[in-house]
Chain A
Amino acid sequence: MKNTRLFLKGALASAVLMAGSSALSTAYAACGIEGGRVSIVGNEFPAIQTVARGAESCAGDGVEVKSNLTADHQKINVAGMQGNPAEYTTAIIANSSIVALMNEDVIRPLDDLVAKHGQDIPKNQLITVNGKIMAVAFMANAQHLAYRKDVLSELGIEPPKSYEEMLAAAKAIKDAGKSEFPIGGAYKAGWNLAQEFVNMYIGHGGEFYKDGSPEPAINNEQGVAALNMMKELTAYMNPDFLTHDSNATGAEMEAGNVMLMNMWGSRIGVLQDEEGAPKEIAENIEVAGPMMVGDSGTPATTLWWDGWTVAKNISDEDAEATFLAMKNGISPSILNDDTMGEAVWMIEGYEPAAVNQGVFASIASGATAYPMLPYHGLMHTALGNEIADFLTGKEDAAKTLADVEAAYVTAAKEKGFLN
């Protein structure tokens, strides 16, 4: 039995390989690179692996394409692009991490290359900063509601549209004895926790900075309201919530403990497959749009894109080769049955599955994109380090927010944003 399974896997793999190689030969002809060096650095999740493979299919005949995809990409991409010539000719980044590259001035505007080779790239994929094209996006992501259809319908509860409704639903589920801790959330201290605050604060209509300056402005009513809502939610969460990242939260839902959660669209697909969870749980996990909070009219979520850039310190030939190879990496030819479900692709020929409805609903709901500001990374870090004190009950909301601002100001002064 075991052996047949392995055999099946092998057969499947070779079938994919064959499909891949036929796509490869057609792609190679389409790349149109005369020569040069392409070197990719980026994160390691499957969608990015697919893009890198697409770019690598351009290799050969004077064109060298290699990739370094690792979870540590943010630690090495700046250093790897600062040299002259840069080790990496392109970095795959998201809207939060592109600012680190722009702050260090290591990526080049792409206007000339788009004019020459990229007329067919849809306008909405081109990320412009101050009128200059700095990146080409290829996938979108957002956090939104995921819930257990069977449990909610048994209790006659509609999927919540706001966090207030989520609390009411959680209370009903708990009272019915379905689950002791029905709400899940990636509240792990650090990046995850800060992200949840960013969602909640934006949902309350808050602004992070004083108009157009790096001065922080979160110690206000919306900030307090956001923190209080987070604390109310944690009352329905597993007591270990400060250690749960999105992996752990997803696993809790697969185990049948969590009935409602705010989760990344990209992470739901694996919850619905037959691995890791009993069938009756897996097939009852459903998605819905993002939730509102308060009465600001903006959903409590942020929109994200992933895209690629081109390094500044490289020859024009390499830049051109990189542009063409990466363009091939995000061309319709990379889509097949396997890669289709890896992300919400912004590629022609992409057919959204039911699981992607959450992300599309987020985009349609008028949610805002995650702030692409030079100093917001510092704010995010400060939030991640300080908010836990409020949730553990060590201090009140105003004190926590004051601490966040103080930590942010210290970091911003060091970086030269404030003086």
Chain B
Amino acid sequence: MSKVADRRSPVLVLFIWAFLFLWLVIAAFPFFWTFWGSFKVEGDFFSKADWTWALFGHLTPVETGGNFTGDGYHGAWVQEEFWRAALNTVIVVVSVVAISLTFGTLAGYALSRSTYNYAFWLLILALIFRAMPPITLVSGYLLPFYQWNLWGHLPTSIIVLVAINQPFTLWMLTSFFRNIPKDLDESAMVDGCTHFQAFRHVIIPVMWPGVITTGLFSLLLAYNDFAVTAMLLSKDNQTMVPKIASFLGTTQTKGNVMFAVASVVSVTAPLFILVMFFQRQIVSGLTAGAVKG
């Protein structure tokens, strides 16, 4: 590839850098704006009188005495106990990813080795489920869940999220496994391995990129979900996103809006770490062909 780079004209290089710079500014600016603003008071963050207040803070010194304030973070994490929501989110996300991937890899492997055209029907199923607006699904679940006393508990939401996401996960993993040559496990079985041993010794070592990519998509879904968790969880079991929504509420109580802004920054932070950590895997996982089917 380096040879290709050598042949580029300076104009092209300049253009590429300018384009990339412009895109990164557009992509990241709202987040940095939010981050900066989360240390201000509401009157400055939503500064209807003059937008420069949001940068330099006009009301923040008047109301808090300092140029920056941690009130939003304090209010959200200490006063409103946002950590509970964070804990619930961790439970939900870990469970959803673990369950989706366990079923997904086993079933995906089996389906990929089957001679019948499952993958296509999985695709159709994934499609119908993704096409159905989540609010319709959730409204349908409400009545039976109340009836059977399942409403409000974390496991219920976990199962629903897994169910909504599973066809998609299965489809991705199946097409990923299809790209692992059949010869690999077949030769292992010729050598006297059982199906399961072939899976363990031959497939598991090479499947990680695809599994991690699929896992990241499930993780993002569970982490960012609002429709399911807002309607199916009771106040005590709330996850982070509905909790943020409840800071806003119908009647925005003073100060709570800044709790929401501070929480948004808090919620995005772990995702940064995850993306930084798994960035290589996302790329290599997709590369390995999970999505080419």
Contacts and interface: CB of A to CB of B under 8 A. Distances in A.
Q: Do chains A and B touch in the complex (CB under 8 A)?
A: yes
Contacts of B117: none
A44 B246 contact: yes
A67 interface: yes
Contact of A72 (B71, B230, B251): B230
A82 B145 CA distance: 11
Contacts of B284: none
Interface residues of A, number: 41
B63 A274 contact: yes
Interface residues of B, number: 39
Given A82-B146, A256-B49, A275-B41, A267 B251 contact: yes
Nearest to A43: B250
A22 B251 CA distance: 30
B293 interface: no
A87 interface: yes
Given A70-B246, A71-B245, A256-B49, A275 B42 contact: yes
Contacts of B97: none
Interface string B136-156: 000100110011010110000
- Most A CB contacts (10 A, CB to CB) among B64, B71, B250, B253 go to B250
B249 A76 contact: no
Contacts of B41: 275-276
A170 to B, nearest CB: 19
Contacts of A247: 251-252
B249 A80 contact: no
A255 B49 contact: yes
A150 to B, nearest CB: 16
Contact of B255 (A45, A82, A266, A275): A275
Contacts of A273: 254
Interface in B41-92: 41-43, 46-49, 59, 62-66, 69-71, 74, 79
A274 B71 CA distance: 16
Contacts of B246: 44, 70-71
A122 to B, nearest CB: 26
B287 interface: no
B274 to A, nearest CB: 29
Nearest to B257: A247
Interface string A59-83: 0000000011111100110011011
Contact of B142 (A2, A6, A68, A76): A76
A275 B234 CA distance: 31
Contacts of A71: 245-246, 249-250
Given A45-B249, A275-B41, A83 B147 contact: yes
B235 interface: yes
Given A80-B151, A87-B146, A275-B42, 4 more contacts: A44-B250, A257-B48, A270-B253, A276-B41
